[in-house]
Structure 1
Amino acid sequence: MNNDFAILIPARHASQRFPGKPLAPLRGADGTARPLIERSWMAACAIADRAKVWVATDDDRIADTVHGFGGQVVMTPAACRNGTERCAAAIDSLGPVAPIVVNLQGDAPLTPDFVVRDLVAALAADAEAVMTTPAVRCSPSLYAHLVGDQAVGRVGGTTVVFNAQRRALYFSKRVVPHVAPERPDGHAHVHLHLGVYAYRPAALAAYVATPPSPLEELEGLEQLRFLETGQPIRVVEFAPLDWDCIELNNPQDIPAIEAVLRQRGIR
């Protein structure tokens, strides 16, 4: 595998659903509270050398917090509309840091290290794909979490459907495909999309040269800009993981994430 990759963690303070989310404290197994952005940085440093990990932000409060725990920061424009645009701006500022750039979104601190490594390997082996991203087959508990959030009008995560060639067909903040409630195996037909992407720098440059697409703006999902312009996204599929990779989308997700931190013994 080509091990030459960098990790960027895009983080903004002005989240509509959860303002100040990157600074939200999460308690680990020993009761220590660390801000979400530090949890995400710790996850990134377990995968790559910390010299190749940067937090990309436009907010001084986040930058000061990252500097406080010894992380690297690259400042990006406030006008960035999503994490992919922020990663593109970071590469413009940093220069050619690596042939593959990983976007580890700042609300996904439970992402396993092998997921990122498999994404990098899949992109290196697939010359046609502009990016790779993971899909995790739902466990019963994760499926229940997604359906439960949807039932009360919250977004509990993003799901993805893909074809036999592992090319993405669609991403949605709804649970897709729809599975009839009486299906006892419903969870096995739904794949959670984790907030991780691996791209080549040229794909990032092409992305920001393209205006936002209609479905991207409707769903609020940046990766749909690639699909609507006919760019192939390679989905890397994973079986249910040993823990639920819940993203921090709403304040109500904090107890579930803290439970996984305790389960895994992460301080």
Structure 2
Amino acid sequence: MSVVIVIPARHASTRYPGKPLVPLTGAGGRARSLIRRSWDAAMAVPGIDRVIVATDDDRIRDHAQGFGAQVAMTSPDCRNGTERVAEAVAALDLSPEIVVNLQGDAPLTPSWFVEDLVAGLRTAPEAQVATPVLRCSGAMREDLLADRRAGRVGGTTAVFGHDGRALYFSKEVVPFVPVAPAPEAPSPVFHHVGVYAYRPAALAEYATWPEGVLERLEGLEQLRFLERGRHVLCVEVEARGRQFWELNNPEDVPRLEAMMRAMQID
């Protein structure tokens, strides 16, 4: 077995309880749950050997099994998706080359994001983890700033070195840009896409570490790797005309549904 996708999903979200079961209506008027749409996105990725939903909730398990997903039950004590993925991989006794964490709140993730991520990790033997980043246009940067001004947790941004090695991730919009770029112009801000590819040893190691200070402050699980000095590779991906957003708050539902209509996703 080479590449496994695990979709972590929990019902007791602090910001949005029951989020995995929230229906999203596509362009054709068909409503499907967030977890179903995330599973559909995972199943569309070429070269994947298995897709697994990892949850601690019977409602999510029953719903996911109802549309044909394989489900791994995990502990309610998992503090984040990476811990849940690690537990699922250990429980199922899997031995893949790469484990992909496709978080259950990112149903618009294009298949090539995951393909590029896996390819990036395979060509960077020094990296233990890889994650995709998307360069923001001026307009997308303004959307992120608008969320922060409104007190909403929007997208996460990433800062990395010339070799792609991650320096920091934040829910603030970083780096600071003194002059705002035009709406259609590229900006120096990169939106972090909530997908990870791990080498199994790094994933197993992660689950043994306590929560880091920066991880707790930002609420970003990937910072635990950085706080432990591990090499996290940022892989720049191309939108290819696709819109992308994660479902973080109830206010994001109409935004995602509008994007699905615009892209003719049923």
Give TM-score, length-normalised by structure 2: 0.95
Cα distance in 2 for partners of 1:63, 1:105 equals 16
Sort the Cα spacing of 1:234 and 1:50 in 2 relative to 1 into closer, same or farther, 3 A.
closer
How far did residue 144 of structure 1 move? 2.3
- Secondary structure of 1:26's aligned partner: strand
Match of 1:201 in 2: 200
- The 8 Å contact of residues 143 and 187 in structure 1, kept in 2 or not, is answered as no
Match of 2:209 in 1: 210
Residues 1:177 and 2:175 aligned together: yes
Residues 1:247 and 2:246 aligned together: yes
Give TM-score, length-normalised by structure 1: 0.95
Residues 1:108 and 2:106 aligned together: yes
Q: Which runs of 5+ in 1 are unaligned?
A: none
- Secondary structure of 1:138's aligned partner: strand
**AA paired with 2:104?**
G
| Residue 66 (structure 2) aligned to one of 61, 65, 68 | 68
Paired residue total = 265
Match of 1:13 in 2: 11
**AA paired with 2:206?**
Y
- The 8 Å contact of residues 160 and 168 in structure 1, kept in 2 or not, is answered as yes
How far did residue 221 of structure 1 move? 0.4
Structure that is richer in helix per residue: 1
Q: Which runs of 5+ in 2 are unaligned?
A: none
Match of 2:128 in 1: 130
Match of 1:222 in 2: 221
Cα distance per residue 1:68-127 (max 9 Å; x no partner): 111110001000000000000001111124210000000001111011011111111111
Sort the Cα spacing of 1:69 and 1:240 in 2 relative to 1 into closer, same or farther, 3 A.
closer
**AA paired with 1:203?**
A
- The 8 Å contact of residues 43 and 110 in structure 1, kept in 2 or not, is answered as yes
Range that drifts further, 33-42 or 133-142: 133-142
Sort the Cα spacing of 1:254 and 1:101 in 2 relative to 1 into closer, same or farther, 3 A.
same
Cα distance per residue 1:114-143 (max 9 Å; x no partner): 110111111111111011000100123322
Sort the Cα spacing of 1:50 and 1:182 in 2 relative to 1 into closer, same or farther, 3 A.
closer
**AA paired with 1:168?**
A
Range that drifts further, 140-149 or 6-15: 140-149
Cα distance in 2 for partners of 1:209, 1:50 equals 27
Range that drifts further, 141-150 or 104-113: 141-150
Over the matched positions of the two proteins, sequence identity in percent amounts to 55
Cα distance in 2 for partners of 1:210, 1:61 equals 30
Range that drifts further, 256-265 or 37-46: 256-265
**Runs of at least 4 residues off by over 6 Å:** none
- The 8 Å contact of residues 157 and 172 in structure 2, kept in 1 or not, is answered as yes
How far did residue 239 of structure 1 move? 3.9
- The 8 Å contact of residues 57 and 73 in structure 1, kept in 2 or not, is answered as yes
Cα distance in 2 for partners of 1:36, 1:96 equals 26
Cα distance in 2 for partners of 1:182, 1:97 equals 47
Cα distance in 1 for partners of 2:196, 2:257 equals 24
- Secondary structure of 1:189's aligned partner: strand
- Secondary structure of 1:175's aligned partner: coil
Sort the Cα spacing of 1:146 and 1:84 in 2 relative to 1 into closer, same or farther, 3 A.
same
Residues 1:23 and 2:21 aligned together: yes
- Secondary structure of 2:54's aligned partner: strand
Cα distance in 2 for partners of 1:38, 1:214 equals 33
- The 8 Å contact of residues 101 and 196 in structure 2, kept in 1 or not, is answered as yes
**AA paired with 1:63?**
R
